[in-house]
Amino acid sequence: MYVVVVGMGQVGQHVVRELERDQHDVVAIDSNPAMVEAVEDSQDVGTLVGYGSSPKILREAGASKADLVVAVTDNDEVNLVAALAALRQGAKRAIARVQGDQYSGSDEGILYGLLGIDVVINPRILVAQEMAKIARSRGALEVLGLAGNRVEMIQIEMPATGRMLHKGLANLSLPAQTLVAAIVRDGELFVPGGSEVLLPGDRAYFLGHAGTMDEIEDLFGARKDITRVCIIGGGVVGLALARLLVQSDVEVMLLEKDRDRAEMLAIELPDVTVLHGDGTDSHLLEEEQVGSFDLFAAVTKDDEVNLMAGLLAKRAGVQRAVSLAQRPDYADIYRQLGIDIVLSPRTLASENILRYVRQSEVQSLTLLEHGQAEVLELIAREGSRILGTPIKRLNIPRGALIAVLVSQGRVSIPHGGDQVRAGDTVVLITTASARPAVERLFKRRTL
């Protein structure tokens, strides 16, 4: 594909890097020469300095022949205008990122056809939805829906002690139709074999039918009822999160530093306790008994405020703390300091853009641990190399796992003797290094 990417911030650079790796023809645009130079130094793609919403710049970038234009600057209006202008020039498809709620509303993370643009993504709404999903899960650090949400993958941190630790995975008494799909140890993700063991502090990804995840959380002592949530920050994320939690009958308290914004939120959220105050004021947190809450979510636009508020809440005794991190590379540092869950709007934006780009070949795409691994849903086409051979005899590369098989509407966790048939959907976990070999299994045999 020929792809034009407007905006070379963290999202734009990540999308360009992935598209180049997938061997697409890419042109990167940014109005800041330094950002363009950074792309030129690291990627073998075309570049252009200029305003991406300018029809002249888009023409120079070849938008008229583009299969896709992706607009991800930090300005919502620039992104929308760039996408519309590119489509008018002849681009086949366009994606725009927005971060306010003026265009997408407070509960719509992805819109199709807004203003004539194919896809408009609001990662702040998406991150609020992810936080609400985590709250409803009652124990997981991350929750992913697969195969039409009939299968879930959850991430759980291993406790310091427990009967499920130090045992080979093949010998674990897990519920039927569940498995350990990946393990993160010391920041490194790997796809385990049956002899691997779970150690204290590991973060393990469990996969199985949606109804079995509660049992997994109980087995590893991760299940905790979430009935009260404190939110710091009443911006786009805080407002959307509060609304979602109230729908789940969760008691919500929201602290907002700006008085005018707090007064507006109190009107918009009649079922939420809205307070005017600073989430990093330890005296205020003590006064409001933050330590008694089941979940604390710091979701302001300021990473330092989110980190400090989360740490203060943990010190006050809150069970679990979630912090928003604008920079995804801060996530590991936050966890090391004691924050339980770290989410990044920029990561969610990148994942959803890439999922849309790759939809012709991949049904779904989710990045794990900042791209160390991917979750793919691939359709096995007639003539594919993967067909007709028992899974145990397939040349599955190290670092990859066939995790779920959807065949004629039936969802199963496959065994070694199972075979993939034409038309089946296959969910795989694969590290970045193993992905090319995985994709070859789904290519048609040449005569």
Percent share of the chain, pLDDT over 90: 39
Q: What is residue 261's predicted lDDT score, i.e. its pLDDT?
A: 95
Query: Sign of dihedral through CA atoms 134, 135, 138, 139?
Result: positive
Is pLDDT at 21 greater than 70 in this prediction? yes
The ranges of the chain annotated as CATH 3.40.50.720 are 2-97
pLDDT per residue as tens digits for the range 159-188: 888 888 888 888 888 888 888 989 999 888
Beta-strand runs (E) in 287-443: 295-298, 320-324, 341-343, 364-368, 373-379, 400-407, 410-412, 425-431
Nearest to 347 by CA among 210, 142, 204, 191: 142
Q: How confident is the model at residue 107 (pLDDT cuts 50, 70, 90)?
A: low
How much is the average pLDDT of 88-111? 83
| CA–CA separation, 63 and 222 (whole Å) | 50
Percent share of the chain, pLDDT over 70: 95
Average pLDDT, the chain: 87
Is pLDDT at 190 greater than 80 in this prediction? yes
- Find all residues with CB under 8 Å of 220, minimum gap 6, and list them: 156, 158, 159, 162, 164
Q: What is residue 363's predicted lDDT score, i.e. its pLDDT?
A: 60
Superfamily of domain 372-441: Regulator of K+ conductance, C-terminal domain (3.30.70.1450)
Is pLDDT at 106 greater than 60 in this prediction? no
Is pLDDT at 62 greater than 90 in this prediction? yes
Identity of the highest mean pLDDT range in 146-150, 238-242, 398-402: 238-242
Lowest-confidence pick of 212-226, 258-272, 294-308, 339-353: 212-226
Q: Rounded to whole angstroms, what are the CA distances from 168 to 165, 194, 264, 445?
A: 9, 6, 54, 37
Q: How confident is the model at residue 437 (pLDDT cuts 50, 70, 90)?
A: confident
Q: What is the pTM of this model?
A: 0.74
Q: How confident is the model at residue 105 (pLDDT cuts 50, 70, 90)?
A: low
Q: What is residue 224's predicted lDDT score, i.e. its pLDDT?
A: 67
- CB–CB of 146/205 below 8 Å? no
Tell the residue number behind the tokens 């130094």, with chain if given.
41
pLDDT per residue as tens digits for the range 115-138: 889 989 999 998 898 888 878 766
pLDDT per residue as tens digits for the range 251-262: 999 999 999 999
Both tokens of residue 391?
């899974």
| CA–CA separation, 270 and 164 (whole Å) | 44
140-162 exposure pattern, b = at least 16 Cβ within 10 A, e = fewer: bbbbbebbeeebbbbbbbbeeee
Q: How confident is the model at residue 365 (pLDDT cuts 50, 70, 90)?
A: low
Fold classification of 139-219 (topology level): Alpha-Beta Plaits (3.30.70)
Superfamily of domain 2-97: NAD(P)-binding Rossmann-like Domain (3.40.50.720)
Is pLDDT at 314 greater than 80 in this prediction? yes
The ranges of the chain annotated as CATH 3.30.70.1450 are 139-219, 372-441
